[in-house]
């Protein structure tokens, strides 16, 4: 028998060891949660499992928890009190910092007492009466204004009477349908908004008929050649980029929200554009760092202008910087940057843990539901046999 055999014993496994005097010792497998090796001798047992005394350390900072006054357990991990507060303890919904003392709870959210304020005017609400509107806290004044505002939403802007049933929207305001009719078919605008065109209002069907021979850009009649694009008709010379007026007739262009754009402005407004050269970066061909995108050949250090490896990059003043230039920065600046990176990493790890925990709960609930259905089916089959 070797030490390796003892160390590799799994939970529930046993190993018989014969002593020189002939007695037999049975060693049971009880692996350490931290190192995975079997524990023989001193043991630390907690709800999350068993540890070697030297392995019973904080999952975040690594301090030995036997030397601490207290420890905390969460989702299969053990933490010292300080790390638990920072990672798993309650945080203020407003400032996102740990809450170490008293807190105000509202809609399953916790706040530092001095951070619990009105959703609109931000006035402090500690010790004051407030209203819960739409899941947010409102002071009495803002709550009253909100209620009055909501009441006005359901009044016809034309006659001032309440709206019950169908309505139309004119310039963002609600109105009774009978106050407006289509300029062509004279039907009321029920079930949706009307469309104003050249000073008159039309239902959607009549608008399509009227606008079919009208240029979408200049709004003038089309008597000769026309171009159809984005669901509308244009004079050939009127089909231009919505942003820069570049002629688009006969060339490729892109559409967004029913409007034509040249390739450059489409990607600049709705896609990805290189931060350095300002040209389009096609999907899968660029480097993304933070909220900025670069061509691979444009991805250079903001300090020395040398090409960089995306995997060996730091961010300084929201710009990419090579490791060499980063190491030349003052120590306090580097510390602040690294602290931000650590905080971002902690937040992401916590998010992943919460996501994993939620997935486990959902899987457990689904399994429970499946068992309930199986039980109901068995019960139904038994009842059928009795018949």
7: burial class by Cβ within 10 Å (0-12, 13-18, 19+)? Answer: middle
Yes or no: say if 189 and 177 are a contact pair by the CB < 8 Å rule.
Answer: yes
Given the structure tokens 């068993």, which residue do they identify?
50
Considering the domain 227-271, what is its CATH architecture? Answer: Ribbon (2.10)
The residue to which tokens 């000073």 are assigned? 199
Domains 104-152 and 157-211 share a fold: yes
pLDDT tens column, 161-176: 877 777 777 777 777 7
Closest CA to 16 of 29, 33, 30: 29
Sequence-separated contacts (24+) of 45-50 with Cβ below 8 Å? 46/71, 46/73, 46/78, 47/73, 48/73, 48/76, 48/77, 48/78
What integer pLDDT is reported at residue 386 of this predicted model? 66
Write down the pLDDT at residue 317.
83
Fold classified for 104-152: 2.10.110
156-159's contacts with Cβ under 8 Å and 24+ in sequence apart are none
SS3 assignment, position 294: strand
Summarize pLDDT for 74-121 with one digit per residue, the tens: 777 888 877 877 776 778 888 878 887 788 989 888 898 888 999 889
Q: Contact 39/32 with Cβ under 8 angstroms?
A: yes
**Residue 178 contacts residue 166 (beta carbons within 8 Å):** no
**Residue 137 pLDDT:** 92
E strand or H helix at 259, and its extent?
A: strand 259-261
pLDDT at 312: 81
- Counting runs of H as helices and runs of E as strands, what totals does the chain give? 7, 22
Please list the ranges in the chain whose pLDDT falls under 50.
1
Element (H, E) at 196: strand 195-197
274-342 CATH choice from 2.10.110.10, 3.30.70.360, 3.40.50.300, 3.30.2350.10: 2.10.110.10
Protein fold of 3-83: 2.10.110
Residue matched to tokens 């171009």:
227
143-175: b (≥16 Cβ within 10 Å) or e = beebeeeeeeeeebbeeeeebeeebbebeeebb
Could you tell me which of 147, 149, 104, 110 has the C-alpha nearest to residue 128?
A: 104
Looking at residue 244, its pLDDT comes to: 92
Do 323 and 312 form a contact (C-beta atoms < 8 A)? yes
Note the helical H segments in 36-139: 81-87
Residue showing tokens 């029913």: 258
Q: Do the beta carbons of residue 361 and residue 368 sit within 8 Å? A: no
Tokens, residue 40: 């023989």
Element (H, E) at 265: helix 263-270
Cα–Cα dist 95/108, whole Å:
16
Residue with tokens 């016809």: 156
Is the alpha carbon torsion for 321, 327, 333, 337 positive or negative? positive
Q: Which residue in 282, 265, 281, 283 sits closest to 273, CA to CA?
A: 281
Give the separation between CA 184 and CA 201, rounded to whole angstroms: 9
- Reference 114, options 143, 100, 123; nearest CA is 123
Fold of the 157-211 domain: 2.10.110
The 3-class SS string of 324-375 reads HHHHCCCHHHHHHHHHHHHHHHHHHHHHHHHHHHHHHHHHHHHHHHHHHHHH
- The full set of domain ranges for the chain reads 3-83, 104-152, 157-211, 227-271, 274-342
Q: Could you say which DSSP state residue 101 is in?
A: S
C-alpha radius of gyration, the chain, whole number: 34
């Amino acid at each position: 028998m070797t030490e390796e055999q003892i160390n590799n014993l799994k939970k529930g496994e046993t190993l018989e060891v014969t002593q020189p005097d002939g007695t037999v010792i049975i060693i049971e497998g009880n692996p350490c949660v931290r190192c995975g090796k079997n524990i023989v001798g001193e043991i630390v047992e907690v709800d999350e499992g068993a540890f070697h005394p030297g392995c019973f350390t904080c999952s975040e900072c690594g301090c030995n928890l036997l030397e601490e006054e207290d420890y905390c357990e969460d989702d299969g991990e053990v933490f010292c009190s300080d790390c638990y507060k920072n990672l798993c303890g309650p945080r203020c919904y407003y400032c996102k910092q740990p809450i170490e003392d008293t807190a105000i709870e509202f809609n399953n959210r916790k706040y530092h007492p001095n951070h619990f304020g009105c959703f609109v005017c931000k006035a402090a609400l500690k010790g004051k009466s407030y209203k819960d509107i739409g899941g947010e806290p409102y002071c009495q004044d803002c709550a009253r204004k909100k209620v009055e505002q909501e009441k006005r939403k359901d009044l016809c802007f034309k006659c001032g009477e309440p709206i019950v049933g169908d309505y139309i929207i004119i310039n963002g305001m609600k109105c009774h349908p009978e106050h407006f009719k289509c300029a062509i078919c004279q039907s009321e605008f029920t079930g949706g908004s009307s469309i104003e065109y050249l000073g008159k209002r039309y239902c959607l069907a009549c608008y399509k008929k009227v606008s079919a021979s009208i240029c979408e850009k200049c709004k003038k009649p089309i008597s000769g050649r026309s171009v159809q694009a984005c669901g509308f008709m244009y004079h050939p010379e009127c089909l231009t980029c919505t942003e820069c007026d570049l002629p688009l007739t006969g060339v490729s262009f892109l559409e967004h929200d029913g409007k034509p754009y040249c390739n450059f402005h489409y990607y600049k407004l709705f896609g990805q554009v290189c931060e350095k050269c300002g040209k389009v970066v096609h999907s899968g061909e660029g480097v993304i760092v933070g909220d900025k995108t670069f061509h691979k050949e444009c991805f250079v250090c903001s300090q020395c202008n040398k090409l960089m490896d995306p995997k060996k990059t730091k961010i300084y003043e929201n710009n990419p910087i090579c490791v060499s230039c980063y190491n030349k920065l003052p120590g306090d600046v580097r510390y602040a940057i690294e602290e931000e990176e650590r905080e971002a990493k902690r937040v992401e790890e916590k998010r992943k843990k919460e996501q994993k925990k939620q997935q486990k709960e959902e899987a457990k609930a689904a399994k429970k539901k499946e068992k309930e259905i199986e039980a109901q089916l068995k019960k139904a089959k038994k009842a059928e046999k009795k018949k």
